[in-house]
Homo-oligomer: A and B are copies of this chain.
Amino acid sequence: MKKAFTHCRIFTLDEQGTEYENGCIIVNDDTIEYIGEHHDAFVQACDEQIDWTGKWVMPGLVNSHVHIVMNILRGSAEDLSLHRWLNEKIWPLESKFTTEIAEVSALAAMIEMIKSGTTTFNDMYNPIGFDCLHLYETIKQVGLKGFFSYSLFSSTGSDRAEADTLAKARETAKHIQRDGSLISTMIAPHSPYACSTSLLRKSAELAAELGLRLHIHVSETEREVELIRSQYGLTPVQYLRELGFFQAPTIFAHGVVLDERDRDILLETETTIAHNPVSNLKLGSGIADITALTRLGVNVAIATDSVASNNNLDMFEELRIAALLQKGVRKNPELIPVDEILRMATHNGANGLGLSQTGMLKQGYAADFITIHPADKIHLTPFTHALSHLVYSASGKDVQDSVVNGKFVMRDKQLLTLDEEHISWELNRLFDHLQ
């Protein structure tokens, strides 16, 4: 089954920043077979031709750190620091979660991601009170690409609880791995402060054993770094290295508080930093120095974190704020030009997730792309400097179409796999139960 998407303006976001004015993408199943200026013979040979005249096309956005089950908590905990936010608000509310809440909440997040241009996400969550594999069965139907990982905690600290959580994480990971859907998985210990030394070590071993990546919150706040240093005499990054992390490729969410040695370790180990600028600002954690990281050569990706600390999943907003912050804080407007920040929110994210042929529009790459139709959008006018508009003027609400693995999940603003009205109604109903 070959499809041709024709007559559009394409921003490939490849290494050369290639653009096509009257572009065309030929998709064979889930892969881009041809991308370039319009080619009549290629188009005529396709089974389906989709006329995208006037539309701008770019790779789908990659949200490298999110918690989709938390969508029901939007706005529930404002103006608090991370540790109070977790202990006083988020964890008590989460303890009331049911499988139904988890499912509706996750689907709401997926609707929000599709509508705002995300095609791949990287989730982790500790499934207290609900059936994790049941949730996996639901979300794999949606058509988004993603990683859904069982997050490990040392809640009681007993050996038995630890063995139990490891067994569940292993079972979940192996099931998802075997299943081979669009949703894959990682091993995801929550953080250096919420996991015992032993649980962290065993998590790293499990990842190596199953050939999976690790996904963990690291160096999010000064308080965390001080705590780990006072307990182990090391920064969180150095502590994790001691415990055998980095045998498997790793995604670190946050990395707000890093020293020079930490950054060198990240570079050597090819670790990806999932940068969550809005969540870090909102919880008062600070601003990650992604300028230092990218200058060194560390792979930096962009992420929203959950709506409980953001409070939305709009990657356009996130990437814009990421670029603005570096310019403003370092008082250097030349930092992080538009092509660089767009790459962080697409290919860098995909690369960190092990999807090296995703996040750019190139022959042989995954057919994951989105469109924006600028015609009725005065905030994207004049059209000439469109790449700049994608960073500084567009928002997720401008996204018109979303194609993942060659299939539409949204077409001209119509969701094809989810019922927004129903999910929204259910989310409101279930929210009342939580109170």
Please determine whether A381 and B108 come into contact, CB atoms closer than 8 angstroms. Answer: yes
Q: Which residues of B contact A281 (CB under 8 A)?
A: 324-325, 327-329
Task: List B contacts of A384 (CB < 8 A).
Answer: 75, 428, 431
Q: A72-B382, A379-B313, A382-B74 are in contact. Are A284 and B420 (CB under 8 A)?
A: no
Most B C-beta atoms less than 10 A away, residue of A278, A314, A328, A331:
A328
Q: Which of B111, B116, B331, B420 contacts A286 (CB 8 A)?
A: B331
In the complex, chain B residues whose CB is within 8 Å of the CB of A385:
74-76, 78
Distance in angstroms from A22 CB to nearest chain B CB is 17
Interface residues of A in 256-278 (CB under 8 A from B): 278
Stretch from A178-186, A191-199, A393-401 at the B interface: A393-401
B329:A74 contact, CB within 8 angstroms: no
Query: How many Å lie between the Cα of A282 and that of B328 in the bound state?
Result: 6
Q: Does A149 contact B (CB under 8 A)?
A: no
Pick the contact of A331: B284, B314, B328, B334 (CB < 8 A): B284
A286-B328 in contact given A74-B389, A310-B392, A321-B321 (Cβ < 8 Å): yes
A75-99 contacts to B (CB < 8 Å): 75-76, 78-81, 85
**Does A27 count as interface, using CB distance less than 8 angstroms?**
no
**Complex CA–CA separation, A393 to B406 (angstroms):** 30
CB nearest to A222 among chain B residues: B331
Number of this chain's copies in the complex: 2
Q: Are A375 and B424 in contact (CB under 8 A)?
A: yes
Instruction: Kindly list chain B residues whose C-beta atoms are within 8 Å of the C-beta of A378.
Output: 108, 111-112, 115, 420, 423-424, 427
Q: Check A376 for interface membership: any CB of B closer than 8 A.
A: yes
Closest 4 interchain pairs by CB? A75-B385, A281-B328, A284-B333, A75-B388
Report A's interface with B, CB cutoff 8 A: 71-72, 74-76, 78-81, 85, 108, 111-112, 115-116, 222, 278, 280-287, 307, 310-314, 317, 321, 324-325, 327-335, 337-338, 375-376, 378-379, 381-386, 388-389, 392-393, 395-398, 420-421, 423-424, 427-428, 431
13 contacts between A and B (CB under 8 A): A71-B381, A75-B386, A79-B334, A79-B338, A80-B333, A282-B327, A286-B328, A287-B329, A329-B329, A375-B424, A378-B420, A378-B427, A381-B424
